[in-house]
């Protein structure tokens, strides 16, 4: 018997989980559903012994259906209602399947379960997708395998959670679920630009956080950045995205200085990662040298701003990643490990007068 994990082992578990959330890249929301499902099953099936725990793909699939069930209800938007996208490309297969059943059974999961044949069919389809899509890909972070939850055997009808995993998922369940839901919410926001935040609060809709309209920043940053992308410094031909420099998923920081104008593509490949030191350098420099201009612009648009607070949160965010030995985003799919340079940049480059 291995016994419960030590404090150090628990910490290392949380760090790995945080890396998985922050750095793992996914085209569908399955990662969140899978982590959620595993944590839920640990509450039902696990204990405090620190022992391994076997979970079948059938059990996981059932949890998937439950998790997606509320989310596939048509989302009430201004123009028309529709099922929220949960994939960066075509709608996620599981969402399509669950949505079709949701509509057929008029939202009653109980009726669907009682149908037997329809339920079995849906369950089987979802299980098949779970096996092909997220199960053996969940623990891949860039080119690294981070197999801390279960051994990535790549096949079969069950996973065996490693010793201590069920213990930790139970011990930190509320915090972990909050983290998963936060990531999931943000992912859905990214998949449905323009559709959200108009009528219904999305977090309540998905799981039962409002944010500022980002459009107001566009003209200000377009002028300030002379129409160029903050990250790659190439011209932005049309539109462009307003990016949270310190990703919103890490901290819901809607203060003016945290925003930059970027290409849609640069924005989505950076995703929830922190930007590399060279970007951090440019960002602090911009906020220091163009501070008057920026703040006049923010005031004019009634945007809340507080550079010292923004910088403190940036220090916290970079400190977190540095302690975790995590990676930061450079460009496109290129990540690198964060060096200690951020400290110098955020302390010296931030402007001591503030
Ligand atoms: Zn760019």
Supply φ then ψ for residue 16, to 5 degrees: -65, -40
**pTM score of the predicted model:** 0.60
Average per-residue pLDDT in the chain? 87
How many other C-beta atoms lie within 10 A of the C-beta of residue 332?
12
Largest CA distance in the chain: 69
The larger pLDDT score, comparing residue 148 to residue 27, is at 148
Spatial contact of 185 and 84, defined as CB atoms under 8 Å apart: no
**Residue 262 C-alpha to ligand 1 middle, in angstroms?**
5
Residues with a beta carbon under 5 angstroms from ion ligand 1: 229, 231-232, 263, 266
**Residue 50 C-alpha to ligand 1 middle, in angstroms?**
46
**Mean pLDDT on 138-166:** 94
∠ CA 237-239-245 to the nearest 5 degrees?
105
- Buried-exposed string 312-321: b where 16+ CB fall within 10 A, e elsewhere: ebbbebbebb
For the stretch 282-305, pLDDT in tens is: 999 999 999 999 999 988 886 778
**Residue 57 C-alpha to ligand 1 middle, in angstroms?**
40
**Residue 249 C-alpha to ligand 1 middle, in angstroms?**
21
User: Residues of the chain with pLDDT > 70: what percent?
Assistant: 91
Give 211's pLDDT tier (boundaries 50, 70, 90).
Answer: very low
Q: What is the rounded distance in angstroms from the CA atom of residue 225 to the CA atom of residue 260?
A: 9
DSSP 152-174: ----SSEEEEPTTHHHHHHHTHH
Q: What is the rounded distance in angstroms from the CA atom of residue 112 to the CA atom of residue 100?
A: 11
Domain borders along the chain are 7-202, 216-348
**Residue 329 C-alpha to ligand 1 middle, in angstroms?**
13
**Helix axes 341-348 and 277-289, enclosed angle (nearest 10):** 0
The per-residue pLDDT for 347 is 85
For the stretch 82-141, pLDDT in tens is: 889 999 888 999 999 999 999 898 887 878 888 889 999 999 999 999 999 899 999 998
Q: What is the rounded distance in angstroms from the CA atom of residue 119 to the CA atom of residue 112?
A: 6
User: Residues of the chain with pLDDT > 90: what percent?
Assistant: 55
Give 251's pLDDT tier (boundaries 50, 70, 90).
Answer: low
Q: What is the rounded distance in angstroms from the CA atom of residue 348 to the CA atom of residue 326?
A: 23
How many CA atoms lie within 13 Å of 265's alpha carbon, on the beta-carbon side?
Answer: 10
- Among 102-106, 205-209, 327-331, where is mean pLDDT lowest? 205-209
- Buried-exposed string 33-49: b where 16+ CB fall within 10 A, e elsewhere: bbbbbbbbbbeeebeee
∠ CA 106-112-113 to the nearest 5 degrees?
150
Spatial contact of 314 and 251, defined as CB atoms under 8 Å apart: no
**Residue 265 C-alpha to ligand 1 middle, in angstroms?**
7
**Helix axes 30-45 and 57-71, enclosed angle (nearest 10):** 120
């Amino acid at each position: 018997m291995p016994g419960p994990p030590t404090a150090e082992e628990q910490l290392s578990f949380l760090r790995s989980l945080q890396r998985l959330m922050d750095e793992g890249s996914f085209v569908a929301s399955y990662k969140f559903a899978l982590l959620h499902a595993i944590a839920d099953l640990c509450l039902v099936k696990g204990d405090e012994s620190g022992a391994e725990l076997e979970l079948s793909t059938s059990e996981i699939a059932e949890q998937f259906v439950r998790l997606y069930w509320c989310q596939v209800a048509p989302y009430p938007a201004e123009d028309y209602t529709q099922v929220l996208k949960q994939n960066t490309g075509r709608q996620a297969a599981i969402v399509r399947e669950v949505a079709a059943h949701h509509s057929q059974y008029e939202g009653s999961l109980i009726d669907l379960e009682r149908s037997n044949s329809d339920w079995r069919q849906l369950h089987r389809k979802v299980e098949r997708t779970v096996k092909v899509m997220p199960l053996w890909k969940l623990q891949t972070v860039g080119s690294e395998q981070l197999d801390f939850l279960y051994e990535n055997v790549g096949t079969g009808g069950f996973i065996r959670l490693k010793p201590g995993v069920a213990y930790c998922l139970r011990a930190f369940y509320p915090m972990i679920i909050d983290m998963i839901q936060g990531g999931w919410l943000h992912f859905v926001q990214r998949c449905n630009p323009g559709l959200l935040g108009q009528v219904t609060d999305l977090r309540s809709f998905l799981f039962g956080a409002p944010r500022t309209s980002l459009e107001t920043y566009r003209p200000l940053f377009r002028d300030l950045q002379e129409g160029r992308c903050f990250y790659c410094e190439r011209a932005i031909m049309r539109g462009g995205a307003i990016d949270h420099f310190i990703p919103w998923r890490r901290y819901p920081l809607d203060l003016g200085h945290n925003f930059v104008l970027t290409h849609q593509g640069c924005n989505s490949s950076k995703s929830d990662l922190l930007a590399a030191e060279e970007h951090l350098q440019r960002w602090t420099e911009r906020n220091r040298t163009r501070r008057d201009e920026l703040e006049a612009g923010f005031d004019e648009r009634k945007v809340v701003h507080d550079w010292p607070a923004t910088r403190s949160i940036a220090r916290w965010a970079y400190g977190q990643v540095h302690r975790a030995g995590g990676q930061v985003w450079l460009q496109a799919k290129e990540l690198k490990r964060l060096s200690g340079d951020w400290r110098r940049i955020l302390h010296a480059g931030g402007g001591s007068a503030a």
